[in-house]
């Protein structure tokens, strides 16, 4: 069962949710508060970020789509990405 909530940090709402015994906090909300949407898109183009997200999904998502991820991973870091 999920429980959604948010906290306010320096005037910015940061989303949080709990699923079973695990707590999650929105990195997207924190990044938007720091540098806006541009930083998020820049961060997601970084090959190291994509590698990290792939590892996290492999460990935590039993329904992770490895085939689609392989396509995304090959494009990461390219100017056209």
Residue 14: partners with Cβ closer than 8 Å, 6 or more residues away:
6, 7, 8, 25, 26, 29, 30, 33
Domain spans, the chain: 1-36, 46-76
pLDDT value of position 77: 67
pTM greater than 0.75 (yes/no): no
* pLDDT tens per residue, range 49-64: 889 999 999 998 999 9
Tokens of 74: 């090959």
* pLDDT tens per residue, range 35-54: 666 677 777 778 888 899 99
């Amino acid at each position: 069962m999920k429980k959604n909530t948010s906290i306010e940090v320096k005037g910015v709402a940061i989303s949080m949710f709990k699923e079973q015994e695990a707590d999650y906090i929105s990195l997207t909300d924190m990044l938007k508060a720091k540098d806006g949407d541009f930083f998020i898109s820049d961060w997601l183009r970084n090959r190291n970020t994509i590698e990290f997200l792939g590892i996290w999904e492999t460990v935590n998502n039993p329904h992770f789509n490895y085939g689609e991820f392989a396509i995304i991973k090959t494009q990461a870091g390219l100017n056209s990405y």
